[in-house]
Amino acid sequence: MIRDHDRRGAPYRLSALGTSLAPVLRTVSDWSRTHLTQEPMAEAERVEDALRRLHLRHSTAVIQVLDSADGPMRFVHIAEAARLDNGLARQRLVRLQADGLVTRTGSRHGDPYVLTDASQALGAVYASVEHWSQPFALRGGTAAPLPAAAATRTHVGIPLGAGADSARTAAALRRSAAASNVMFSHAPQPQPRVPAAVTAQSSPGRGR
């Protein structure tokens, strides 16, 4: 968002980059409406609710690992594949479960995890984010059409208003963009292990 004039009190308007977020926000909203909740809510609120489930650092890494697995995965294997400290991996899995993106195959301690239908449908969201996050200059300074993968996997929704909070949304989207296989489109970046002293500052979730 920018000001029309460089002076105090001048009105604001979306920059070209902010305007180019519109297709991404529509894709996020469509995914939320189809796979999370169909309860009536404002489009901006729907987008913010969806991004809240995706924006935490390393959440995408956990989703990516489960997406690339041949079947359900146990906690220790998820933490190892995502290159996360056990405490942080546990926190992310608990949060992803609460947000309806990951579930366990059983109720016993140690039962493996799988993605929910909502997570499995994230391909269009990640494709849209990846396309938007390409250097703006390479897209000619305009909002280029979404790739076919995003267009064919996205339901049509109500267009979002141009006044969405593009700065916070952009930051959340950038943190959520990730990696390879069917859902992801580029190779994952190694995630550094988090020292136990850091993860100990947050209260860990219940059992593995």
Range name among 2-11, 55-64, 105-114 with the lowest pLDDT average: 2-11
Average pLDDT over residues 20-44: 90
How does pLDDT run across 125-138, given as a tens digit for each residue?
999 998 888 875 56
What's the mean pLDDT in 110-117? 95
User: What does the pLDDT average to over 133-147?
Assistant: 58
- Would the pLDDT of 67 be above 90? yes
Lowest mean pLDDT among 52-66, 120-134, 136-150, 191-205: 191-205
Domains of the chain: 21-199 (1.10.10.10)
Note the pLDDT tens digit of each residue in 77-102: 999 999 999 999 999 999 999 999 99
- 116-123 CB contacts, 8 Å cutoff, 24+ apart: 117/35, 118/31, 118/35, 118/36, 119/63, 119/66, 119/67, 120/67, 120/183, 121/31, 121/34, 121/35, 121/153, 122/31, 122/63, 122/183, 123/149, 123/150, 123/153, 123/182, 123/183
- The chain-wide mean pLDDT, for the chain, equals 74
In the predicted structure, residue 161 carries a pLDDT above the cut 80 = no
Out of 33-47, 103-117, 147-161, pick the least confident: 147-161
